[in-house]
Amino acid sequence: MNVHTWFERAARQFADRPALEVEGVALSYAELRELVERLAARLHAAGAPRRVGLLANRSVLAYAGYLAVLRAGATVVPLNPQHPPERIRELVARTGVELLLAEESQRADEWKVPMLRAGRDEPFGRAPEVPVAPDDVAYVICTSGSTGTPKAVPISHGNVQAYLTEVAARYGIGPGSRVSGNFDLTFDGSVHDLFVTLGQGGTLVVPTAGALLSPVRTVNALGLTHWFSVPSLISFAERLGTLRPGAMPSLRCAIFGGEAVPVEALRGWKRAAPQADIEVLYGPTELTVACTGYRFPAEESAWPVTPNGVAPIGECFGSLEFRLLDPGGRPARRGELCVRGPQRFAGYLDAADDAGRFVPGGWYRTGDLVAVEDGLLLHLGRTDQQVKVRGHRIELGEIESALRSLPGVADAIVLAVPTDGEPELAAAVGGDCEPEVLHAGLRDRLPPYMLPRRITVLDRLPLNANGKLDRRALRTELEG
């Protein structure tokens, strides 16, 4: 079944109810459905491409376009127009995009594939029904890659169906619910926002990117009942001093995912939203948005105390299985989390990226170090150099590769350095170059969330006794 059917059923049932609020525009389910049909008809008339790049974000077109690509039986590849053009072109080529669906204002001469510009006043049309099989790819999201190039993760309609079956009814969303659309479409949390909300008759309310810097004000200004974001937004509210007791009376549910979250941060949010259920979701893109969850007890006195002060990631979803493996590949109560089941993707678009990521028996290796305590899964960190910043999965090797490609750079190391809030990226390079020039060079190659805050230039990078780059020594210097 096409994932679009979740929206289609709700649109028939709740035609006159509000579906989407974005850019100061409000659309009912009937109005959004009509726009989706018109866009899908144009895609069909453009040759029915099998893979469509959606070059739009936080706009009516972004959400209607996402639904329209699926309605047309194609695969959607979200692309952020705020990212550097060179990176967009790289992702277009890497994912096999055949057509770009973009805002009317987008130039059509720099992407090397045909572009369909779309507006809100689309000519009337209706696309033919296109059969979709469970193994057909619904969307492709690109994550950071350790080899210096992004990894393209294809997620099938069957994967998304399994996820929605698990979570759709979990949060009590329905007519009257006002649900945050906090995630960019290039982040798979947006899949949760889009289909859990629009599949149940709720209203998806999309804040501007700037509004997210003031979460409490945004919740109240938009009258939100449901919130889903990365936990680093809690720290923004803390710095503004807005997490006062009872500050968010309308909120009924708050979900945090994408990175580890301290229990104390959740306590502050709970006091500001005393009527809200608090939940943590965990899962890599390859396992379709999330594969575990933990709902905190209503009473704070019953909240768990964890050894590292980080919220549990809870229990694996019922349709999935998990194993923890020690470095030797043996089952353990503390080790790398491996998961299999209907939410697990079939493999990367580039089969070379599959190397080392699967364990015999259909298990996907997450790279996350996890322990089981009192029946709950606890996240303890990574087994590799991957980090998360504002929920974005980043391979430090990709940034290092980009730095090494710049003139004058002999070698480079990038580290995630702790701060009072979320970690920040810091780089050290060896060579004859200027930090300002390196910053400018990276801005042309990488999205903003992958840019180091600091770049330190050294005559040469320190080596350890084995002649390898000494990351420990550099960390001491960069943190100092």
Q: Would you list the DSSP string of 29-43?
A: HHHHHHHHHHHHHHH
Q: How confident is the model at residue 333 (pLDDT cuts 50, 70, 90)?
A: confident
Phi/psi for 93 (5° steps) reads -70, -40
Quote the pLDDT of residue 214. 95
DSSP 130: -
Amino acid at position 300, single letter: E
Handedness of CA 23, 26, 28, 30 (dihedral sign): negative
The C-alpha atoms of residue 314 and residue 97 are separated, in whole angstroms, by: 37
Rounded (10°) angle between helices 157-167 and 189-198: 60
Handedness of CA 122, 126, 128, 129 (dihedral sign): positive
CATH topology of domain 386-479: GMP Synthetase; Chain A, domain 3 (3.30.300)
Location of structure tokens 């550099």: 474
Q: Which residues have C-beta within 8 Å of that of residue 121, sequence separation ≥ 6?
A: none
Q: Which helix (H) or strand (E) holds 353?
A: none
Quote the pLDDT of residue 468. 54
Phi-psi region of 347 (alpha: psi -120 to 50; beta: other; left: phi over 0): left
The pTM of the full predicted model, rounded to 2 decimals, is: 0.85
pLDDT digits (tens, 9 = 90+) for 388-412: 777 677 877 778 878 878 888 877 8
Which of 74, 3, 2, 8 lies closest to 44 in space, CA to CA? Answer: 74
For the chain, domain boundaries: 386-479
Quote the pLDDT of residue 181. 98
Model confidence at 336: pLDDT above 70: yes
Residues shown for the chain? 480
Model confidence at 467: pLDDT above 80: no
315 contacts 377 by C-beta, under 8 angstroms: yes
Q: How confident is the model at residue 184 (pLDDT cuts 50, 70, 90)?
A: very high
pLDDT digits (tens, 9 = 90+) for 54-108: 999 999 999 999 999 999 999 999 999 999 999 999 999 999 999 999 988 777 6
As beta bridge partners, residue 180 has 205
Model confidence at 176: pLDDT above 90: yes
Q: How confident is the model at residue 252 (pLDDT cuts 50, 70, 90)?
A: very high
The C-alpha atoms of residue 243 and residue 237 are separated, in whole angstroms, by: 6
Quote the pLDDT of residue 219. 98
As beta bridge partners, residue 28 has 18
Do strands 25-28 and 18-22 pair parallel, antiparallel, or not at all (unpaired)? antiparallel
- CA distances from residue 122 to 38, 43, 51, 60, 75 in whole angstroms, order as listed: 6, 12, 21, 12, 21
